[in-house]
Structure 1
Amino acid sequence: MSKLRKIKAIANLGKHFWIHVFRRLVSKPKPGEEKRKFLEYYSGDKITALTAGDREALFEYQKCINCGTCARVCPVYAPAAHGHYRAPDSIAASLSRSFPEFGAARDAVYNCTQCGACALECPRGIDVPGLIMLVRRKSAQADAELIRNTFRERLQTLEKHGTAHGAPAADFSAYKKQGAEFVFFTGCAGRTFAADETRKTLDLLTVLGVNFTVVDDACCGGFHRSAGLLEPDSAVARAAAQRILDTGAAQVVTACPHGLYTMRTHPAYRDIRARHVLELLNSLDFKLAADARTAAYHDPCFLGRRLGVCDAPRELIARAGASLTELPGNRERTVCCGSQDGEFTLDPAVARAMAAERAAHAAATGADILLTACPACRKAFAQAAPNLTALTVSEYIADRYKA
């Protein structure tokens, strides 16, 4: 029986071979037809096109020795339950295969808040957040459906309302003027849920005699960056940069660490000098009403760890005479509270758990107030620990200002 099957198989193979030869002799394919059919055949696998830069980056990520340090310091790993993350090398390897298989890795890459703790501690110096963003970018390029739903919903909100946080957006036109030295960039947060903080900061800058104007109608592109959609020639970033340049101001300041990070790292802002507003305030000479309370300061991940702005907030707090207590995990080794990127990427319960854990760190110090330099962090603390007094440092300084 097996011999008969073998004969039939050989006969069938021979038949198709001669049919193929005959077709090649009598029907010559049109130019490009074979290439088209080849690409059409493989389009279902959604094979990812990698640039030379992509390949170089992936080779770099293969330095991973699977020591587990990145998992040990990841603030999401414990709250999200073990198993949500893959090691960096396995995510990189998935890029060399078809996207249906890679699609399973998107839960891992979208559970990342981009806090950067893993890169700081990696013994091989691997830029793990960079790898995560590479995967998100390739995912978005291949199929928009692979972008996590929360991001796609926010993109629709951004397109409709001009801000990722929806309407209503505050109007700061009263602060706008010509010939300013500085431009205050509100960003999406600064004109929505943090509008009151923004107004306090602008009023303080006004009474301190700072010559500034405001850009309150542009998104910096940071949200697109987190979603994997911020390319080097991003129209969103270029439009925001042009709005800043059109003011003629020499410098831009913002209260948003994520916006500041975007401005300092994206090529669209190469001609713009950007600082956090606390850096500007710390360079000015003014007095603050004495404060006998104890304050704990939380370093935002993007400001403290990724940009190294750690001293200005602490020096401003010290001006008020408040007793500053450090949280476990501070400066470049701060602990992520799950805000901003976490708001769009994580399960809400995971984000709240991270914020509650960080708020518990502050409560354990016995501090009277918890201060931070990021409106998104302050919002996360207010939601996770409503009994804890949490303020941004700019709010705190505005309240303590003594004319």
Structure 2
Amino acid sequence: MKFEKLVEDEAFICAQCNFCRVCPAFKHEDWESASPRGRIYLIKSLIRGEIKPEDLDEEIIQDFFKCTTCGECEVVCQTEIPLIDVWEKARASLVKEGFILPAHKRIGEAAKKTGCPYGEDRSRDWWLDFEVSEKAEVAYFAGCTATFRTVEIAKNTVEFLKKAGIDFTYAKNDEICCGSPLLRTGQREIAYEFFKKNYEEWKRRGVKKIVTSCSGCYRTIKRDYPEIAKELGYEWDFEVYHVSQLIHELIKSGELRLEKLNKTVTYHDPCHLGRHMKVYEEPREVLKALGADIVEMENNREEASCCGAGGGVKAQFKELAMKMGIDRISEAEKTGAELIVSCCPFCKLHLNQAAEEKNSKLRVVDLIEIVNQLL
């Protein structure tokens, strides 16, 4: 099997130690094949020809894809292997060989058909209550989850941008999935097509700065898109912000006047915003500016526990994803907080479902919801 050079080079640096057993999937599955070390062993065996692609059975492939790509293994890796990239590129190689899980295949087919991994074919601006500029230097990228599953996040974001006096454009039905779910599940060709469409739309609208309220979209547009642009020969000259970073800047400059949030909260670091993109302090600084009493969970910042939904795990392995989500809710309950605050539509969706499954009184709210209501 032909792997990308990064995967080949990095796989053989691995010391096969035990540190990467922090993996949340391994904690629940307890099989070596579901651990980062087990995945590296499989990659090495395929590269060396010790295992042939035709020898791979369904169980081995499923275990390889039980990774949420959260990056906890990368934090503890003693040889500093960029494991997130390794997992994603290895998945792309497996998909090219025809090893794609049923739920991931459905996501890809739905995305190709509707431009949305959820398969939604209704208007993407069904929730928008007012007109926005057709062209502007700032674009709001809502993303699929905030558009079709946690619409309150999209609504609060555009209301916030209006209140803050920011002239912005929103592509409405011309917006298409950023491609994050496809990149994470190894379906890179579809993601590349989505890149082209979004890129061309931003150029048509005169966009220079992109703001998103989704951590997955932020990671994809900020980190993956410049690499894809270089690979395809596109010029990449956009600034990309998560809305929490924009709020933080406006607070520091004195441009926002906010009421106080008199609540005890704990902050959940989304994997794509935190470990993937190193955005840890800005959301916390915003909460401090609101006067919130922040109590940290035992695992926070680069050691934060994954909610369990990412990397295609929620789509294919619902029970495993739920177990991870319940773990995080249990951790939050120990803080005594009234609310869990996060900055990711997918985290909010999944953790609220986990709280309901656990019969917990805790609920998750997105930072933009709080800020918009107190502005």
| Selected match of 1:113 from 59, 63, 68 | 68
Distance change in 2, residues 1:56/1:152 (3 Å): closer
Alignment of 1:154 with 2:154, yes or no, is no
State the TM-score, normalizing by the size of structure 1.
0.81
| Selected match of 2:14 from 57, 64, 67 | 64
Give CA-to-partner distance per residue, 1:193-241, whole Å, 9 cap, x none. Answer: 0222201110111011011111342111112101212259922212112
Q: Which residue in 2 is equivalent to 1:134?
A: 89
Match of 1:150, SS?
helix
Matches of 1:395 and 1:296, distance apart in 2: 15
Give the residue type in structure 2 aligned to 1:349.
E
The answer to whether the 8 Å contact 1:175/1:214 transfers is no
Per mean C-alpha deviation after superposition, the further-off stretch among 100-109 and 375-384 is 100-109
Alignment of 1:272 with 2:238, yes or no, is yes
Per the TM alignment, residue 166 of structure 1 is displaced from its structure 2 partner at its CA by 3.0
Per the TM alignment, residue 272 of structure 1 is displaced from its structure 2 partner at its CA by 2.0
Per the TM alignment, residue 373 of structure 1 is displaced from its structure 2 partner at its CA by 0.5
Alignment of 1:223 with 2:193, yes or no, is no
Alignment of 1:200 with 2:156, yes or no, is yes
Match of 2:67, SS?
coil
Per the TM alignment, residue 140 of structure 1 is displaced from its structure 2 partner at its CA by 1.5
Per mean C-alpha deviation after superposition, the further-off stretch among 220-229 and 335-344 is 335-344
| Selected match of 1:332 from 295, 302, 305 | 302
Q: Which residue in 2 is equivalent to 1:369?
A: 339
Per the TM alignment, residue 294 of structure 1 is displaced from its structure 2 partner at its CA by 0.3
Matches of 1:174 and 1:129, distance apart in 2: 39
Q: Which residue in 1 is equivalent to 2:282?
A: 312
Give the structure, 1 or 2, with the largest relative contact order (CA under 8 Å, sep 6 or more): 2
Match of 1:326, SS?
coil
Per the TM alignment, residue 248 of structure 1 is displaced from its structure 2 partner at its CA by 0.7
Distance change in 2, residues 1:214/1:56 (3 Å): closer
Distance change in 2, residues 1:121/1:290 (3 Å): same
The answer to whether the 8 Å contact 1:173/1:214 transfers is no
The answer to whether the 8 Å contact 1:342/1:351 transfers is no
Give CA-to-partner distance per residue, 1:148-172, whole Å, 9 cap, x none. Answer: 1111111222233321123345414
Larger-Rg structure: 1
What is the aligned-residue identity percentage?
A: 25
Give CA-to-partner distance per residue, 1:368-399, whole Å, 9 cap, x none. Answer: 11100001111111101132121000111112
Matches of 1:397 and 1:173, distance apart in 2: 19
Give the residue type in structure 2 aligned to 1:92.
I
CA RMSD of superposed structures (Å): 2.1
Q: Which residue in 2 is equivalent to 1:77?
A: 26
The answer to whether the 8 Å contact 1:95/1:135 transfers is no
Give the residue type in structure 2 aligned to 1:93.
K
Give the residue type in structure 1 aligned to 2:25.
V
Matches of 1:179 and 1:157, distance apart in 2: 29
Give CA-to-partner distance per residue, 1:1-58, whole Å, 9 cap, x none. Answer: xxxxxxxxxxxxxxxxxxxxxxxxxxxxxxxxxxxxxxxxxxxxxxx245xxx24531
Q: Which runs of 5+ in 2 are unaligned?
A: 230-235
The answer to whether the 8 Å contact 2:10/2:86 transfers is no
What does 1:212-361 correspond to in 2, within 5 Å?
212-216=168-172, 217-230=175-188, 234-266=192-224, 267-268=227-228, 270-284=236-250, 285-344=255-314, 346-361=316-331
Distance change in 2, residues 1:328/1:255 (3 Å): same
The answer to whether the 8 Å contact 1:218/1:239 transfers is yes
Matches of 2:10 and 2:2, distance apart in 1: 18
The answer to whether the 8 Å contact 1:170/1:195 transfers is no
Match of 1:339, SS?
coil
| Selected match of 1:180 from 132, 136, 151 | 136
Give CA-to-partner distance per residue, 1:339-380, whole Å, 9 cap, x none. Answer: 232544552111111111111111110001110000111111
Give the residue type in structure 1 aligned to 2:180.
G
Give the residue type in structure 2 aligned to 1:279.
Q
Distance change in 2, residues 1:173/1:251 (3 Å): farther
Give the residue type in structure 2 aligned to 1:139.
L
Matches of 1:397 and 1:282, distance apart in 2: 11
